């Protein structure tokens, strides 16, 4: 069974991947979607042009991975694309954010992503693709967004290293690093008093379209928009101390 697996598929970037992947893979048998919100996944199931298999559950609990792994073995899954889009962020000063929220970001953004890659890897083969949704926040430390940015740096670094390891098997790994995207993300994260976010907000359809094109082109990193690409270059050239000070002032931290 030729499948794509998409985590965080109930909304935002994950949902858009589930809708657009059939345009890239014309002969998929199913798309397997993973998220907590069952009704959202059922609505997605009605809109997707290929059959959708729902795995509703909390990716911070082991049972969801057991369900997925058992079904992959039973179906003899051939995973053509794995998209890791599950994740969330919380803005604010580190010492003022609920510790459970801080650890939850690490658990979902890092631990869950790593675990789903581990269980899917035996079912990936030549021509398969892994797409990990990181963030432009991965390029430098982010005062006011410290744990989220650090977690996405993990995703970025893991993706680059994993891509090198899997190259000999013909498996492509792409880290997607968007700036602010018009999704429900900021409803949970909260906002910072930084006017920059609204000025560079991107459309989710365009971000995902670019990410899929970059994956097909075997690019290790997908960055949408000229400004975000410029910021990636700047992060390489400007010392972290200067970047963090600029962001501290822009985000009005301290």
pLDDT at 200: 57
pLDDT at 186: 60
- Cα gap 79→64, rounded to integer Å: 18
Q: What do you get for the CA distance between the two ends of the chain, in Å?
A: 54
- Cα gap 149→170, rounded to integer Å: 30
pLDDT at 147: 96
pLDDT at 225: 81
pLDDT at 191: 63
pLDDT at 189: 61
Which candidate in 25, 123, 148, 156 is catalytic? 148
> How many DSSP H helices and E strands does the chain contain?
11, 7
pLDDT at 101: 94
Q: Is 76 exposed, middle or buried (0-12, 13-18, 19+ CB in 10 A)?
A: exposed
Does the CA dihedral 75-55-134-161 come out positive or negative? negative
pLDDT tens, residue by residue, 12-38: 999 999 999 999 998 999 999 999 999
pLDDT tens, residue by residue, 112-158: 999 999 999 999 999 999 999 999 999 999 899 999 999 999 999 99
Number of domains in the chain: 1
The residue segments making up the domain with residue 190 are 2-250
Per-residue pLDDT of the chain (254 residues; tens, 9 = 90+): 999 999 999 999 999 999 999 999 989 999 999 999 999 999 999 999 999 999 999 999 999 999 999 999 999 999 999 999 999 999 889 999 999 999 999 999 999 999 999 999 999 999 999 999 999 999 999 899 999 999 999 999 999 999 999 999 999 999 999 988 867 666 566 665 555 555 557 899 999 999 999 999 999 999 998 888 888 887 788 888 887 777 777 777 76
pLDDT at 43: 96
- Which one, of 90, 91, 89, 88, lies nearest residue 251 by Cα? 91
pLDDT at 179: 85
Instruction: Read off the CATH number of the domain in which 228 is found.
Output: 3.40.50.720
Does the CA dihedral 47-48-50-51 come out positive or negative? negative
Distance between alpha carbon 61 and the CA centroid of its chain, in Å?
Answer: 19
Is 156 designated active site? no
């Amino acid at each position: 069974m030729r499948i794509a697996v998409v985590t965080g598929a109930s909304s935002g970037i994950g949902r858009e991947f589930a809708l657009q992947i059939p345009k890239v893979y014309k002969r998929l048998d199913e798309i397997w979607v993973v998220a907590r919100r069952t009704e959202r996944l059922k609505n997605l199931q009605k809109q997707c042009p290929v059959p959708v298999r729902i795995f509703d559950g909390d990716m911070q609990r082991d049972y969801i991975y057991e369900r997925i792994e058992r079904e992959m073995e039973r179906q003899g899954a051939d995973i053509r694309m794995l998209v890791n889009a599950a994740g969330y962020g919380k803005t604010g000063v580190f010492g003022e954010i609920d510790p459970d929220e801080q650890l939850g970001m690490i658990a979902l953004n890092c631990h869950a992503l790593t675990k789903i890659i581990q269980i899917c890897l035996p079912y990936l083969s030549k021509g398969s693709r892994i797409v990990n949704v990181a963030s432009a926040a991965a390029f430098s430390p982010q005062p006011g967004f410290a744990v989220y940015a650090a977690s996405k740096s993990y995703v970025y670094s893991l993706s680059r290293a994993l891509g090198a390891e899997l190259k000999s098997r013909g498996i492509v790994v792409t880290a997607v690093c968007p700036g602010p995207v018009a999704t429900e993300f900021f409803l949970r994260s909260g906002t910072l008093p930084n006017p920059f976010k609204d000025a560079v907000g991107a459309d989710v359809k365009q971000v995902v379209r670019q990410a899929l094109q970059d994956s097909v082109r075997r690019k290790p990193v997908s960055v949408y928009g000229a400004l975000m690409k410029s910021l990636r270059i700047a992060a390489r050239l400007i010392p972290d101390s200067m970047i963090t000070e600029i962001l501290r002032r822009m985000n009005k931290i301290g």
